[in-house]
Amino acid sequence: MNKLVTFFRETSMGRFLIGAGIILIIFGCIVRSFAKDNANYIKTDAVVTKTELFEESDEKNNTEALYTVDVKYIVDGTEYEEEYGVFSGYKVGDQVTIFYDPKNPAEIAQPGNNKLEGYLFILAGVAALAAGIVSLARAAQKHKALKEQEKEWTNG
């Protein structure tokens, strides 16, 4: 029983890193798939038409209000007004850059480089996975060395 507990204790970091690495890789692939879906979106300017209090947070006496923001934009002569997202810094009348789906101009997305974010999560996942494998290999070497030392002690 003691050897089993020691084994689990010695390999806990490696097992954690491998699990975290796999989760990060999967999350990065999901982020990339969303970015790929938005790849054909077209950039345009929009005007903030409405801000509505969404949530107010208080961290160490610093209050930050978050607002749902609606924007208005024109595509091929048709005016659209859609919810843009939740932000803290926009006011009615501010100009923002959005991306819209050319097949459905009512579908908009925020500018950003989700492809890069996806790659960063994947890279972090690969690094965690590699560190976990190295950690497990070291634990196995340590376990093997202890077994050899135990044999030497029992054989005298």
Reported confidence tier of residue 6, pLDDT bands at 50, 70, 90: confident
More confident residue, 115 or 50: 50
| pLDDT 10s digits, 25-46 | 999 888 877 765 666 788 889 9
Residue 24: is it exposed, middle or buried by C-beta count within 10 angstroms (0-12/13-18/19+)? buried
Assess whether pLDDT exceeds 70 at residue 93.
Answer: yes
Highest mean pLDDT among 20-24, 63-67, 84-88, 139-143: 20-24
Reported confidence tier of residue 111, pLDDT bands at 50, 70, 90: low
Mean pLDDT over 150-155 rounds to 82
More confident residue, 56 or 124: 124
More confident residue, 152 or 27: 27
Reported confidence tier of residue 97, pLDDT bands at 50, 70, 90: confident
Assess whether pLDDT exceeds 80 at residue 82.
Answer: yes
**Taking the model in full, what pTM does it have?**
0.54
Assess whether pLDDT exceeds 70 at residue 56.
Answer: no
Give the pairing of strands 62-75 and 95-101.
unpaired
More confident residue, 144 or 117: 144
Percent of the chain with pLDDT strictly greater than 70:
87
Measured from the Cβ of residue 99, the count of other Cβ atoms closer than 10 Å reads: 18
